[in-house]
Amino acid sequence: MADSIRESRGNRIRLVVAYDGAGFHGFARQDGLRTVQATLEETLTRMLSTPIEVHGSGRTDKGVHARAQVVHFDLPYGPPAERMVYVLRRRLPADVIPLWADQVDTGFHARFSVVRKTYRYLLYRGAAPNLFLYRFSWHVPGVLAVEAMREAAVHLLGRHDFTSFCASATPQEDKVRSLYRIDFVESPNRLAIEVEGSGFLQYMVRIIVGTLVKVGQGREAADRIPAILAARDRRLAGETAPPHGLCLWNVEYPPEYGGKVVDPEADL
């Protein structure tokens, strides 16, 4: 397997990185702004003394984090993929953490090869914000009816037109997406909402979370979700939850590329 990869035409590297979104204007390159893509490209270009263009599994908005963003780039030559992570760890700023890298054939594309993605949204429910989580959670003190939120979430599972649950300015014509899983993970003062799907529209997870919180706070009924979906009207769903609670949690590729890039049980 390793041999057949080495024999393929290009030298394509897949790199998995985590980042703290607070200091970035999102993933995608933008002139004059600090972005994750530009940071990776500049670091790799300096490190390898050749211009490197990086392709991500998708954008993340300003302020959104990633536990597992996937990028790929092509190299004319360079250190072996495993060694690259150690070199990058010393060269990248502290808020971009390279996790692992491997060499892949040029049939792999960080974005087009994606099968599923998982996002996690973290709510912190303590009376005061939590020092260790304030950068990574939405502080929602007060009563939250988690059972009602679970009921509401069930209506979102499956294949739907998510026009009501994305930014009005979403560029894509086709708003049909599939959600495979919405899990609620509770621990003291924390509620993590994991959403796994085929792909996500702009602000989609944040609007889903804003709507679920509205249900949890008793300002919307769980059984109203089907009508909100059917109306295809953004104004009917809840507010857009703030970006700093959101984290790109996992990316899944076909089995020949190893499936999920992070073990779902991993402590990263």
Q: Which residues are annotated as a binding site for substrate?
A: 119
Active site residue 105: no
Of 51 and 188, the one with the shorter C-beta distance to its own copies is 188
The answer to whether 39 and 69 are in contact (CB under 8 A) is no
Give CA–CA dist 268/265, Å, rounded.
Answer: 9
* Span from 3-11, 122-130, 206-214, 223-231 in contact with its own copies (CB under 8 A): 122-130
Q: How many Cβ atoms sit within 10 Å of the Cβ of residue 205?
A: 29
Site track 173-192 with its own copies (rule: CB under 8 A), x = hit:
---------------xx---
**CA nearest neighbour of 137 among 120, 118, 117:** 120
List, in sequence order, every residue forming a beta bridge with 257; answer none if it has no partner: none
Distances (CA, A) of 45 to 19, 32, 121, 171: 19, 18, 33, 31
Examine residue 130 and tell whether it contacts its own copies (CB under 8 A). Answer: yes
CA angle at 56 for the pair 54 and 59, rounded to the nearest 5°: 125
Q: How far is the CB of 60 from its own copies (least distance, A)?
A: 13
Pick one of 3, 90, 112, 131: the residue that binds its own copies (CB under 8 A).
131
Examine residue 251 and tell whether it contacts its own copies (CB under 8 A). Answer: no
Pick one of 1, 128, 143, 169: the residue that binds its own copies (CB under 8 A).
128
Three-state DSSP state, 138: strand
Examine residue 76 and tell whether it contacts its own copies (CB under 8 A). Answer: no
Residues forming the site for its own copies (CB under 8 A): 18-20, 65, 67, 85, 89, 94-95, 97-100, 126, 128-136, 188-189, 247, 267-268
- Which residues participate in catalysis according to the annotation? 61
